Chains A and B, each alone.
Chain A
Amino acid sequence: MNTMDTPLRDGFPLLAASPDLHYLDSAATSQIHRSALDAVARHETTCRANVSRGTYRLAEAADRAYEQARQTVARFLNAGAAGEVIFTSGATASLNLVAHAFGNTLKAGDRVLISVAEHHSNFVPWQMLRDRTGIELALIPVTDAGQLDLARLPELITGNCRLVAVTQCSNVTGAWTDVATLVEAARKVGAKVLLDGAQAVQHGPQDVRALGIDFYAFSGHKCFGPGGVGVLWGREELLAKLSPFHTGGGMIGEVTPQATTWAPPPQRFEAGTPPIAQAVGLAAALEWMMTLDWQQIHARESRLCELLVDGLLRIPALRLLGPESSAARAPIVSFDIPGLHPHDICQVLDARNLALRGGHHCAQPLMAALGIDVCTRASIALYNDETDILALLDGLSFALRELA
């Protein structure tokens, strides 16, 4: 049973109801905080109506709640304006939106630079854009420690580079990207920068202006909010120049039989009924996150990460993926034990109430670069504690015996 920091854990209904569960798969989906659940229920039972359409009081209440959620996201990201926040169905949708809307501004021969470490959702959309338009798609390789090899930037950020689109933090190795170096190199050739923040947001509020980037994507379900909602943040002046991705209701200026004009951002990019209650729930989760002492949480997450890494490195033949230094990584720890398949490991661990992910983690190019097909991943969030890590290390010892 988890005994430390129960107030934090108790804020998560599923964890509070499952005291013996060691949930170490927050990189896939974090648990939902009570404030987000309550906000969704409150919205659906007091404000449920469509947005940007009705003039009756209920619809206006829904409008207010939805736009307040946008403002909360803007504060969480330290965005310049709430209008820079676009609600989507998730980070994948946000990344696809950029690949289409920004992609439409590119021409054959322009270069988009991504990295080998990308999740498929920031890989495949660019491959498809390349195949549609003839752009060049170049890859930043990774070092042996699984970090983006930014020493290669001078040769990769060429004069025709229009966009650098990379992960802020690898969903496999946990390695943080050196965003400042990347942005500096991109600016020299006038390239825009998109950060996939899917793994970063659960580790604290972000500052898109300090990062100096142009686009930022993340999902609600990875930062203690509901599923089905995500965010694309983009610089106002940049969004204003882009055409929509999806089309339909809510995103038009005027439709005539001959032609259609577009609404201004962010509505231009929110065709159809958006995930209203989910956006409200996400905002509640972010509001809660903004009340926390993140310095303390980071110190705790780093300590747990070090405890886990130290324990893993004692297992003979185990190969730790990613940087050993906890400062260089988010608390996402993947490893490979030759001869043992991650699915078998995870199955044995599940019998001991340990929830971990095994597989290629939607990052097959990274797997290939690391010379493996699959690996096992433990991801730590603010509700984990030492008992989770010790249970995992003990469970791995058991799995090694069970599967031998």
Chain B
Amino acid sequence: MNDKDSLYQDAIKEFARAAHGHGQLAAATGEAKLDNPLCGDRVRMQVSVTSGHVAAIAHETKGCLLCRAAASVIGLHAAGQDANGIEAVAHDLEGMLQEGAPVPPGWPELSMFEPARRYPSRHGCVLLPFRALLAAMAESEMKRVQR
């Protein structure tokens, strides 16, 4: 099996190790904590949204390599995206995992999760950080509207 076909290819391990975006924001506008009850993965995602776009994110992720690598990809790419853009990536990523749809445009690193398609019980691990990001952005928007 080529490394790129392996679930635990080097890219995943490297992204998990790099933990892009790990930490906390001093002034988050939205935050969400999500668990995967199946395995105990836990993501705390903070966002700072300015003019509808992500200015910064930070996450604290306790979980498997797939979950930590997915959170790390978010740390690399989320800045500058608006809610629609994040929703589209999450939707496309789900399609890639479940139906073999193309890798979400603009997020080429997500191709490293293509081998996870064969393991449906692990899809939630990859998607959890994206769901946490969407929830954090929703909370940010709710707070903005209430102000």
Contacts and interface: CB of A to CB of B under 8 A. Distances in A.
A403 B40 contact: no
A402 interface: yes
A359 B38 contact: yes
Interface residues of A, number: 16
B8 A344 contact: yes
A373 B62 contact: yes
A374 B40 contact: yes
B42 A373 contact: yes
B7 A359 contact: no
B125 A343 contact: yes
B42 A347 contact: no
Interface in B50-74: 62-66
Interface string A338-369: 00011110011000000000111000100100
Contacts of A367: 40
B144 interface: no
Contacts of B122: 343, 347
A344 B40 contact: no
Contact of B39 (A359, A402, A404): A359
A343 B42 CA distance: 13
Nearest to A345: B64
A298 B64 CA distance: 35
A343 B64 CA distance: 6
A359 B42 CA distance: 12
A360 B42 CA distance: 12
A92 to B, nearest CB: 16
A404 B39 CA distance: 20
Interface string A373-384: 110000000000
A403 B65 contact: yes
A348 B66 CA distance: 13
Given A344-B8, A348-B8, A359 B40 contact: yes
A395 to B, nearest CB: 14
A87 B30 CA distance: 50
Given A343-B125, A359-B38, 8 more contacts: A341-B63, A347-B119, A347-B122, A359-B39, A360-B40, A364-B40, A374-B39, A402-B8
**Which 7 pairs, one residue from A and one from B, show the smallest C-beta to C-beta distance?**
A341-B64, A374-B40, A343-B64, A360-B40, A359-B39, A373-B40, A343-B39
16 contacts: A341-B39, A341-B63, A341-B64, A341-B65, A343-B64, A344-B8, A344-B64, A344-B66, A358-B39, A359-B38, A359-B39, A367-B40, A373-B40, A374-B40, A403-B65, A404-B13
Interface of B: 7-8, 13, 38-42, 62-66, 119, 122, 125
